[in-house]
Structure 1
Amino acid sequence: MLTAKGLFQEIIDNDESFRLFCSIAASGESQGGWENARIAALVAPGMRALAPKITRHSADEDKHGRIFNALMKKRGLEPVPVPPDTDYTMLLERRGIGLAHEKLRADRPLTEEDVIVYLAHSRVTEQRAADQMDMLVTHFGDHPELGKAIHMIDNDEANHLAYCHEELLGLARQGHGRLIQRTLRESALAEIRVYRDVSLAVMRHMGRILGWSKPKAFALAAGIHGMYVWERAAGWHRMVDLKMPDRRNALGGAGAPAPAL
């Protein structure tokens, strides 16, 4: 029987598949760090109070990238190029989700609408990240090689998600509710499609490395398509709801340093 735990165990037990997994993860986290750093530098003049929190978000993402690189280094592995069909961040940008990199590379201040779009997009993608890390903590939280890193990243992702909820609720009270809800819905529907496509691509690459049989590859692909159908019908709602988090001001302090691996 195929299970998430069994599948991931296969991936981490093989050096080549583990290296690809960590390379994809490190690249995505580092890209998120760059994006947040640029947003913090360009944040709309009337929203400068957000800049320290966005900077903290950037530092956390950079830290996660270093953690995945350290996990590879510990095994004596070097990163590999990320296949374009597994580049989650790039594929989201191509669908017009989030802030275009062209805008972030310019030196013009962002508008309030830009910042709201950034926060709404982050609320959606951080939900995905938090869900994935919760799954890994459940199955591998006590793993001698990965456990410490997984717990650290899981806690950070919970902070990021709480920050997005709190800031968006505050902006909704200021009269931006319609823009927020519209952007959340558009982002969620695009994200679940991109996540499906990236998941299928990652499984294809892992299947090639690990020599999965055609029936196994077919079953995994069917499971990914089934999850997409459920998310498209109803599951996306969990990515757009807003509620005041238990963790208040989650990015208001200094972030924890990367653990010694």
Structure 2
Amino acid sequence: MFSARSLFQEIVDNDESYRLFCSIAASGESQGGWENGRIAALLPASQRALAPKVTRHGADEDKHGRIFNALLRKRGLTPADVPEETDYTMLLERRGIGLAHDKLRRDEPLTELDIITYLAHSRVTEQRAADQMEMLKAYFGDHPEVGKAVRMISHDEDNHLAYCHEELLRLARAGHGRTIQRILRDCALAEIGVYRDVSLAVMDHMGRILEWPAAKAGVLAAGIRAMSGYERLGGWRRMVSLRMPERRDALGGPASSAPEFA
């Protein structure tokens, strides 16, 4: 029987599946960098104090995109086209989650509600990212090719999650608690469906590249659907709870560089 560790090892060991994995990751991180950069530029006057943290968030996401592209270059690979059905960020936007790119392209200040929406969306998606990187760190934290990248990105994602908790709690104390909880719940339930669909699509592409037998592909798909069902029944609550993080002011300084991945 295969395990999550062996599954990821199989993807990393094959050039084409590794190329697709890194390309999907790089694309998503780069989109996140652009979004945060635009949000930082459009913050309303009441939230201008957030500008350095939002900028830092975007710089981290850009850095992650560069790291995944550097991993491709180190193996002599070029980025692959990202299949539309695996584009997590785009599919979330289509479900009305987060701030629409059309709004971010305008040179109009955002509202305080927009900032709550951005932070709630980030709290949910950063939970997913932090969980994924924690799993990859457990499996590949010491891997000679990807270990350093995994550890660095995992540390950043934990910082991003801490930042979202702290800022949402600040806004809740300012009287926005009910709005925050409503948006968090809507984001979490939509994200669960998008993550399920993207996971199924990614595994379908990987299965074809790696020529998985139908039985293996079927078990993986069933596992993805079962996890989604659990999250929809009650697991979503871990994505909407708020607590003061141990890492206070996690994005209060400049973004760390990654010269070894340049």
- 1:44 Cα deviation after fit: 1.1
| Residue equivalent to 2:155 | 155
- Secondary structure of 2:20's counterpart equals helix
Output the TM-score relative to the length of structure 1.
0.99
3-state SS of 1:206 partner: helix
Query: 2:132 is matched with which residue?
Result: 132
Amino acid at match of 1:65: G
Q: Which residue of 2 aligns with 1:75?
A: 75
Structure 1: where are the runs of 5+ without partners?
Answer: none
Distance in 2 of aligned mates of 1:2 and 1:167: 41
What does residue 243 of structure 1 align with? Answer: 243
Per the TM alignment, residue 45 of structure 1 is displaced from its structure 2 partner at its CA by 1.2
State the match for 1:5 in structure 2.
5
1:211 aligns with 2:211: yes
Question: Which residue of structure 1 aligns with residue 233 of structure 2?
Answer: 233
Alignment of 1:1-261 (within 5 A): 1-261=1-261
In the TM superposition, what whole-angstrom CA distance separates every residue of 1:178-237 from its partner, at most 9, and x where no partner exists? 110000000000000000000000000000000000000000000000000100011110
For 2:89 and 2:27, how far apart are their aligned partners in 1? 9
Matched positions, count? 261
Shift of 1:259: 5.0
How far apart, in 2, do the equivalents of 1:253 and 1:218 lie?
A: 46
Superposed CA deviations along residues 56-98 of structure 1, whole A, max 9, x for unmatched, are 0000000000000000000000001100000000000000000
- In 2, the alpha carbon distance for the partners of 1:128 and 1:44 equals 28
Give the superposition deviation at 1:164. 0.1
Q: Distance in 2 between matches of 1:112 and 1:232?
A: 29
How far apart in 1 are the matches of 2:188 and 2:181? 11
TM-score, length basis structure 2: 0.99
Percent of aligned pairs sharing the same letter: 74
Q: What CA distance in whole angstroms lies between the structure 2 residues aligned with 1:145 and 1:259?
A: 16
Q: Distance in 1 between matches of 2:259 and 2:14?
A: 24
The residue type equivalent to 1:80 in the other structure is A
Amino acid at match of 1:29: E
Name the amino acid aligned to 1:87: D
For the residues of structure 2 that align with 1:82 and 1:53, how far apart are their CA atoms? Answer: 29
Instruction: Give the root-mean-square deviation of aligned CA atoms.
Output: 0.6
Once the two structures are TM-superposed, the CA of residue 2 in structure 1 deviates from its matched residue by 2.3
Q: Which residue identity lines up with residue 116 of structure 1 in the other structure?
A: I
SS of equivalent residue, structure 1 residue 125: helix
Is 1:133–1:150's contact at 8 Å kept on the other side of the alignment?
Answer: yes
